[in-house]
Amino acid sequence: MQEIRTDICVIGAGSGGLSVAAGAVQMGARVVLIEGAEMGGDCLNAGCVPSKALIAAAEAAEVQRASVRFGVAAVEPVVDFGAVKDHVAGVIAGIAPVDSQERFEGLGCEVIRDWARFVSPKAVEAGGRRILARRFVIATGSRAVVPPVPGIESVPYLTNETVFGLRERPGHLLILGGGPIGMEMAQAHRRLGCAVTVIEAGRALGREDPEAAAVVLEALRAEGVRIVEGKGVVRLRALEPGVEAVLADGTVIAGTHLLVAAGRRVALEGLGLEAAGVAHDARGVTVGANLRSTSNRRVFAVGDAAGGMQFTHLAGYHAGIVIRQAVLGLPAKARTDHIPRVTFTDPELAQVGPDEAAARAIWGERLTVSRSEFHHNDRAQAMRAGGGFAKVMIAKGRVVGATVVGPHAGEVLAPLALAVSARMKVSALAGVVLPYPTLAEIGKRAAGAYFSPKLFDNPALKRFVGLVQRILP
């Protein structure tokens, strides 16, 4: 067996793994990159990229339906579902060269296209070769969870890995799971002409600020998405064609297709972590704040494999933390209090830092929640998109969190995410000058509202101003 000695061996060519490999090799480290599936990982091939491409196509269809509010005659769009999927494939193909084997080999990485398996604390095997490395980075991502619902083994179902390859439009799509993925796919498919029912055993968008989630759910229901909350599926049965779901209260819902969007689990199976002495559990590799394995100091984990939040941008952030240590020999630790997230429905729901309930649990009476409504934002009014709001959580005069639900909330969140990340004073956010009219003004306005009681409801200040006015020449 051929033996390769290298500085860093990266297992997994998704967002986190590619970022580590690209950064390390361009700084002068020897890098072996191992990927058993597709380069680019889940995000490029079955996650962020195809889902946002599908959402963009669905938005184009909805614009035609909703144009009457602008004085433009509305029409029912003619949707070619197969062509929509061609668009999705085209977007993936346009981005793929950035993540390709050829590019990384051009950068100087040795790329092995096979599944990796640890054979000792210092070595992995893949593609008929043994790789001995100074440092290993586990960046294997996660996969869709298929819940143990009775009957699921006998019915055809889709996950994020297969739904984007579907070329025939579903007549009635049942979605098992009311989290961000389920809601994004529900609205997109509804706008593309499918009947859609979402089944959620708990509360839909249950991890989000309840007030903000309610804005999104109201919008989806208004578009015709049926959302069933608080009723889990107890049995599934195959129909000809389609599938039937029986809920806990006896309700029976039949559909033509079933999409499972019930969460994700870390992909660690087959890695031979026991042979490497790498502690792990169902959440992922057991790591410290520095993302280094607690039981094998040669091993780091990034992204989903590190056992925390599951976001592509978090994996990229983790890559920088690992590069500082494994390549530059500098200390580094990952934070979690500043990681943003977005649910790409319409309206979007964006969050950075703790939401209101979590922030109150941390800071109690020291917390101030300052807010502004989109119906007071002139750009939103011009877009006929005045629903939603922004909340800014403030403690000790600093921005500690923000919630935005409304038009382009993910973009609006950017300056608020900077404020949280940099631990900015709320006065800095309130004092920034933004172009008018822009949606981002809502964050500035929410920050400014923090000072309103101090400025406009302050009897002592009013007396002082009265005095100044009398003495000014």
178 is in an annotated binding site: yes
142 is in an annotated binding site: yes
Question: Got the DSSP string for 201-268?
Answer: SS-TTTTS-HHHHHHHHHHHHHTT-EEEES--EEEEEE-SSSEEEEETTS-EEEESEEEE-S-EEE--
The whole-angstrom separation of Cα 397 and Cα 392 is 11
82 is in an annotated binding site: no
The whole-angstrom separation of Cα 142 and Cα 266 is 4
424 is in an annotated binding site: no
Non-local (6+) Cβ contacts of 394 within 8 A are 367, 368, 369, 370, 400, 426, 447, 450
User: Across 241-359, where does the E strand assignment appear?
Assistant: 243-247, 252-255, 257-260, 264-266, 280-281, 284-285, 299-301, 340-343, 348-352
Helix, strand or coil for residue 279? coil
The whole-angstrom separation of Cα 449 and Cα 443 is 10
The first and second tokens of residue 472, run together, are 């000014």
183 is in an annotated binding site: yes
CA 439 to centroid of chain Cα atoms: 21
Phi, psi of 67 (to 5 degrees): -70, -15
Task: Judge whether 49 and 95 are in contact, CB under 8 Å.
Answer: yes
16 is in an annotated binding site: no
184 is in an annotated binding site: yes
Q: Tell me, what DSSP letter sits at residue 170?
A: P
208 is in an annotated binding site: no
397 is in an annotated binding site: no
CA count, 13 A, side-chain hemisphere, 375? 2
Task: Judge whether 174 and 225 are in contact, CB under 8 Å.
Answer: no
CA count, 13 A, side-chain hemisphere, 157? 25
141 is in an annotated binding site: yes
Task: Judge whether 200 and 174 are in contact, CB under 8 Å.
Answer: no
Q: How many CB atoms lie within 10 A of CB 105?
A: 12
H helical segments located in 111-193: 180-191
Q: Tell me, what DSSP letter sits at residue 304?
A: G
177 is in an annotated binding site: yes
304 is in an annotated binding site: yes
253 class by beta-carbon count within 10 Å (0-12 exposed, 13-18 middle, 19+ buried): middle
180 is in an annotated binding site: yes
Q: Binding site membership: which residues?
A: 52, 140-142, 177-184, 200, 263, 304
Q: Binding site membership for FAD: which residues?
A: 52, 140-142, 304
Q: Binding site membership for NAD(+): which residues?
A: 177-184, 200, 263
